[in-house]
Structure 1
Amino acid sequence: MSKPAILTVDDDPMVSAAISRDLRRRYGDDYFVVKATSGDQALAVLTKLALRNQPIALIATDQRMPGMTGIELLERARDQAPTAKYLLLTAYADTDVAIKAINDIGLDYYLLKPWDPPEDQLFPVVDDLLGDWRQANPEHTSDVRVIGNRWSDRAHDIKTFLARNHVPYRWYDVERDAEGQRLRELASASDVDLPLVLVPEGDALRSPSTVDLASALGLRTRAEQPLYDVCIVGGGPAGLAAAVYAASEGLSTVIVEREAPGGQAGMSAAIENYLGFPRGLTGSDLAARAVAQASRFGAEMVLARSVVGLESRGPVHAVLLEGSGEIEARSLIVSTGVSYRTLDVEGLADLTGRGVYYGATASEASQCQGEEVYVVGAANSAGQAALNLARYAKRVVLLVRGDTLVTSMSRYLVDKISAARNIEVRCRTQVVGCRGDGHLEALTLRTFEQSEEVPASWLFVFAGASPRTEWLGDSVVRDERGFIVTGPDLVLSGVWPLARPPFALETSLPGVFAAGDVRLDSMKRVASAVGEGAMSVYLVHRYLATF
């Protein structure tokens, strides 16, 4: 792959030379830095680079230029550099114009001039933009390759695991792709060997478990220390926030995550109401940033391992891992979040992973290119998924059991869905039946006690929330739905065992805390989960100080 390019544009020769010099000094080893002194010259450079098939990572342009403003240039540049990040260099008087450009042309960031010193003002911004670009545009020479059947539930699980753990991969359908058939023959793989996973180093993996796949990719699947200050079960926003604060404050910290960092939020195509991100960000991006931050402070992350039990051993708590192994810690934070509830529809369970999916990663939308897609749900997660799927699908039908979306979904999402031409919202509608031979082929929908069958190959379910707490046993009090009871509610129910009152997020088992969606009466929002994760570490400190 050619070295990606960074294009700078400024009509002032001195400023143009300065920013090119600063960027070349910092990024010249990995990027080709080229400069232009006008909008027209910049477009000519972009055309030349596009003909060479050289990727454009970043365009940094001044706003006030004669003949063509920076925003006008960026708007026209999208044809030649569709994946590039946009950085606008502007004066304070133009900030309103820059903010408007965030929505109008997809501006990624605006930076006030001057940017001295660049180590403080320029490089941190460009680091983030280039990091995001690299994540979205990885080099394919070392990609993992997955060969399997389009409607294989196991292949779907593997692709989801790779996507959510930010592992680039290429997918080959053995029934459609000649290259997939060739690779299967080279590996002498039978039907029972599929999906076949080819990693850059090592032997071919034949229908691997997620633990085997994680190990082959070099992801950590075992804890390194015999005892930790805090063990965090669940790597969603609450768990990742707890890991960042715990590790940064010197606590030995380990996170156990059975799937991938980010939880349900990590599957979101767009989180637009999170503080500090006016353009919004994907759940995948939020998770990746949080993982990097936690790792920087020394937190360990154990992936692809399910926790199946909890034991108290005096002042130590032990979480038992599926298969074998355990992790001991002096305190425990439960942040396992919630799962989407399964639909009680005859035949649906047999088609799960074969056209029926609970939740959806942002990357799955492209597989629905030109097809009709059905989405069940009325909360924000369903709305975000519908909008993402609508970018590729011919038509998206959002099935809502209630009378309206307004009471259960954020207003900004309702407005976007209403404006989307290829999204249809059907209220007071439920899925009551399905059929298919090997994969989903039709759904039966009921509205006003009238039923109709519609052809369908894709159904994504975002209905309800079910906490993952069965592994806690009887020592941790939960309500009838499985949500963990914490803090003052324990005193009211008369199940708190100590003379001191429980800490705010403490469970009925002293030293075990709950944060995020898994906790009874939590807000079920990303920001509140992050807040509870941070707060739980403060309470862990108070608990550990009692010894």
Structure 2
Amino acid sequence: MTDYDGSDGETMTIIGTRTASNAAELLTKRHLGDASNVVLRHSAAEIEAIESDAAFSPLSCRIHQMFPSLSAREVSRMRPFGTETRWKAGEMLFSMGFPSPGLIVILAGLVRVSRRDAIGKVHRVVEQHAGHFLGEIAQLYGHPALGDGLAVEDTEGIVISSANLRNLLVTEAELGEKIMRSLILRRVGLIENGSGPVLVGDTTDARMVSLQGLLQRNAYPHTVIDARNDPETVELLERISASKADFPIVICLDGTILRSPDENLVAAHLGWLPEFDPSHTYDVAIVGAGPAGLASAVYAASEGLAVVIFDSRGPGGQASASARIENYLGFPTGISGQALTGRAFVQAQKFGVDLCIPTQIKALRCDRTPIEVQLADGKTVSAHTVVIASGAAYRKPEIEGLERYIGRGVFFGTSPVEAKLCKGLEVVIVGGGNSAGQGVVYLASHANHVHLLVRARGLESTMSRYLIDRIARLPNVTLHTSTEITSLDGDDGGLSKVNCKAPNGSFSFDIRHLFLFTGAVPNTEWLKGCNVTTDEKGFVLTGSRAHQRQDEGDKTLETSVPGVFAIGDVRSGSTKRVAAAVGEGAAVVGQIHEVLLERQQLTLDKQSAELQTIG
């Protein structure tokens, strides 16, 4: 998410590794190089010198925002939120891989922040003195520190815990904006520098693409090494593992080497997944972190409700695959789906939403009070209300050979990961909606030529006019109407041929990348154990349609199960637009309050009746 403007965004992480095998050190040294140690100071002269010497980057002009100075008044406003602490020279304020105490405001002394890359080389990130703060957005939840903080001299500071930091960001709006912007820019800088875990393997392998997608969707810095085109790398990798089945390999922050891990294992090892208190009951549990789910999480948490949100992949849903949304209100130059939903994700963190990503939901037990959300790992989370915002997936068309090449040349949606694979090549896109149109515009700037296939006679009835006009002006895009794919062929490398039929006869494309934007299938399989009513296509019914009555008092977003709501693309009859999903996410919060108040009143009435009986 490097296109953030710094007003919102993702977390800063200062990361590296403590140890690694000799092979891993040699491998990463060759690819990552030996970057010089640079100490960033904060005087006007030093900032000017850094900016004038740096290669052009949006960040090169924003060092003062990345590492801002706090005024005496701002430090005074932060004091009530923390506890004063002292460290001796040589003592660690925080250490990589261990829980961080929170945000630290330096009152006196000098602290050196450093990160270690995958070969164990230490890089000094910054030296902070009185009037500066240390921290990252991960500290909003007490996650392990992703860098080392060393007291260069005797140091005094204010330690602000995770809970108090969230409170500070909300109650001190102006100061909170300054802190948040700083944390965002630090994260962007680390993403641009390729910090973080190292992924090694065949970049066209489905498992490798999956892991890259995981880290990218969650705006986590990482480095990718393609072992295919580097015999020397392959030779070095054989010292780590002799089995091809072990790839891709992930060299983690603490030096651990994960062999062919799945997304959940990587997420767990990076400390993303929270621990649940089995005795705690949330006010609302949200399943799905797309625009609708994130909107409901932000609004509910900002109004004081205890919120938890789950998603099996990452924040953003299908919207995160949109290269540029140009008709979303308030963004005249457009905004990528990943940037838009990434900002919402940070807002959710700011307001204290518990984030469980990636986490697979196994079932919803609606026959219990409170409602139980059963996770795939066997854990159970309780909530008074549940919001179904699990969205929809692109439909898998009935094409011979399709399953064989999913992830091996066939993709649903586009992202920078897939775009890199298409550099200078010919690709095929299938679909006539706005998502397909945005995919065409995006890939046209990477691929040599883009073929857009639609079964209809044109795009006018399914795609926005501005996208149709833009596609028509792209010289490397060909529209094939009344065309459909009949079968796919491939080789050991994956997809190699797309066979089609059209009114004029059959033809083929010798291509290795096919992108499908074909219809929508609701993500509702996990609801089978609950009595939530769906329509004939599996989308969730709400309001009067769910209750089969026309009462004006019906909660329009409530399902057939009291206290369970549905919003966004998963809801039957919803408008499949990002703005509409966000609107439903905001609207459902009011209906959640109604349910919570009704249940609170029932409890009070019951208690009153019991007291009268005793009396």
Of 46, 53, 59, the residue aligned with 1:57 is 59
- What are the Cα deviations for residues 131-162 of structure 1, in whole angstroms up to 9, with x where unaligned? 46953772536332111223321112111111
- With over 3 angstroms needed to count, the CA separation of the structure-2 counterparts of 1:129 and 1:445, relative to structure 1, is farther
Partner of 1:337: 391
Matched, 1:481 2:495: no
SS across alignment from 2:411: strand
Give per-residue Cα distances to partners, 1:147-200, cap 9 Å, x unaligned. 122332111211111111111222222221356425523422511101111122
Aligned length: 449
Aligned to 2:243: 190
In 1, distance between residues paired with 2:441 and 2:395? 21
C-alpha distance in 1, partners of 2:355/2:44?
Answer: 29
Q: CA deviation at 1:257?
A: 0.6
Shift of 1:121: 10
* Correspondence for 1:73: none
| SS of residue paired to 1:330 | strand
1:436 partner amino acid: G
Alignment of 1:51-90 (within 5 A): 53=55, 55=57, 57=59
Partner of 1:517: 569
How many Å separate the matches in 2 of 1:329 and 1:355?
41
Deviation at 1:380, TM superposition (A): 0.9
Change (3 A) 1:30 1:252: farther
Deviation, 1:449, is: 6.2
Superposition pairs of residues 206-217 of structure 1, within 5 angstroms:
206-217=259-270
Instruction: State how far apart, in whole Å, the 1-side matches of 2:389 and 2:546 are.
Output: 18
- Which residue, 9, 12, 33 being the options, matches 2:47? 33
Which residue, 358, 368, 377 being the options, matches 2:422? 368
CA distance in 2, matches of 1:409, 1:500: 35
Matches within 5 A, 1:367-446: 367-438=421-492, 439-446=494-501
> Is the Cα contact below 8 Å between 2:366 and 2:531 reproduced in 1?
no
Partner residue, 2:228: 175
Equivalent residue letter for 1:538: G
The correspondence of residues 2-13 of structure 1 with structure 2, limited to 5 A, is none
Among 502, 517, 529, the residue aligned to 2:554: 502
Tell me the SS of whatever aligns to 1:138.
Answer: helix
Of structures 1 and 2, the one scoring higher in RCO (CA 8 A, sep 6+) is 2
Which of 269, 286, 296 is the equivalent residue of 1:232?
286
Runs of 5+ consecutive residues of structure 2 not aligned to the other structure: 1-5, 7-39, 63-171, 600-615
2:48 counterpart SS class: strand
Please give the TM-score of this superposition, normalised by the length of structure 1: 0.76
Equivalent position of 2:345 in the other structure:
291
Task: Specify which of 494, 499, 509 is matched with residue 454 of structure 1.
Answer: 509
Q: Letter of the 1:459 partner, please give it.
A: L
What amino acid maps onto 2:532 in structure 1? V
**% identical aligned pairs:** 39
Question: Match of 2:207, as an amino acid?
Answer: R
Is contact 2:191-2:220 (8 Å) kept?
no
The answer on whether the counterparts of 2:533 and 2:560 sit within 8 Å (CA) in structure 1 is yes
- SS of match in other structure, 1:485: coil
Match of 2:603 in 1: none
Q: Partner residue of 2:306?
A: 252
Asked if 2 retains the 8 angstrom alpha-carbon contact of 1:484 and 1:518, the reply is: yes
Between the aligned partners of 1:535 and 1:521, the Cα distance in structure 2 is 16
Amino acid at match of 2:354: E
Q: Secondary structure at the match of 1:460?
A: strand
More displaced stretch, 222-231 vs 372-381: 222-231
By how many angstroms is 1:366 displaced?
A: 2.0
Counterpart contact for 2:322–2:338, Cα < 8 Å? yes
Measured in 2, the distance between the counterparts of 1:186 and 1:345 equals 41
Q: CA 1:373–1:299 in structure 2 vs 1: closer, same or farther (change >3 Å)?
A: same
Are the aligned partners of 1:517 and 1:524 in contact in 2 as well (CA < 8 Å)?
yes
Q: Is the 8 A contact 2:532 2:540 kept in 1?
A: yes
Q: Secondary structure at the match of 2:418?
A: helix
Give yes or no for the alignment of 1:530 onto 2:582.
Answer: yes
Letter of the structure 1 residue corresponding to residue 597 of structure 2 = A
Of 335, 340, 365 in structure 2, the residue corresponding to residue 311 of structure 1 is: 365
Aligned-partner Cα distance in 1 for 2:564–2:174: 42
- 1:543 is displaced (CA, Å) by 0.6
- Per the alignment, in what secondary structure is the counterpart of residue 34 of structure 1? helix
Q: Which amino acid aligns with 1:372?
A: E
What do the CA deviations read for 1:464-495 (whole angstroms, capped 9, x no partner)? 0000012112500001111000001123369x
Structure 1 residue 543 and structure 2 residue 595: aligned? Answer: yes
Pair 404,144 (structure 1): closer, same or farther in 2 beyond 3 Å:
same
1:405-438 deviation line (CA, Å, top 9, x unaligned): 1211111111111111111111111111110013
Q: How far does the alpha carbon of each residue in 1:57-113 deviate from its partner, in whole angstroms, 9 at most, with x for none?
A: 2559xxxxxxxxxxxxxxxxxxxxxxxxxxxxxxxxxxxxxxxxxxxxxxxxxxxxx
**Structure 1 contact 146–170 (Cα < 8 Å) conserved:** yes
- Structure 1 residues 125 and 314: alpha-carbon distance in aligned structure 2, compared to 1, 3 A threshold: closer
Say whether the 8 Å CA contact 1:221–1:304 is kept in structure 2. no
Structure 2 residue 305 is matched with structure 1 residue 301: no
Distance 1:248 1:280 in 2: 27
- Offset, 1:56: 5.3
1:491 aligns with 2:547: yes
Cross-structure match for 1:107:
none
Q: 1:519 to 1:137 in 2, by over 3 A?
A: same
Q: In structure 2, what is the equivalent of residue 74 of structure 1?
A: none
**What is the CA-CA distance between 1:28 and the residue it aligns to?**
3.4
Equivalent residues in 2 for 1:124-135, closer than 5 Å: 131=184, 135=188
Contact 1:164 1:267 survives alignment (8 Å)? no
Task: Work out whether 1:463 is the aligned partner of 2:518.
Answer: yes
Quote the Cα distance in structure 2 between the aligned partners of 1:182 and 1:539: 60
The unaligned stretches of length 5 or more in structure 1 are: 1-5, 7-25, 36-44, 61-118
Is the CA contact 2:310–2:356 (under 8 Å) kept in the aligned structure 1? yes
> TM-score, with normalisation over the residues of structure 2?
0.68
The separation in 1 between residues aligned to 2:173 and 2:564, in whole angstroms, is 40
Output the CA distance in 2 between the equivalents of 1:178 and 1:125.
48
Partner-residue secondary structure (3-state), 2:366: strand
Q: CA deviation at 1:218?
A: 1.6
Tell me if the contact between 1:172 and 1:179 (Cα under 8 Å) persists in the aligned partners.
no
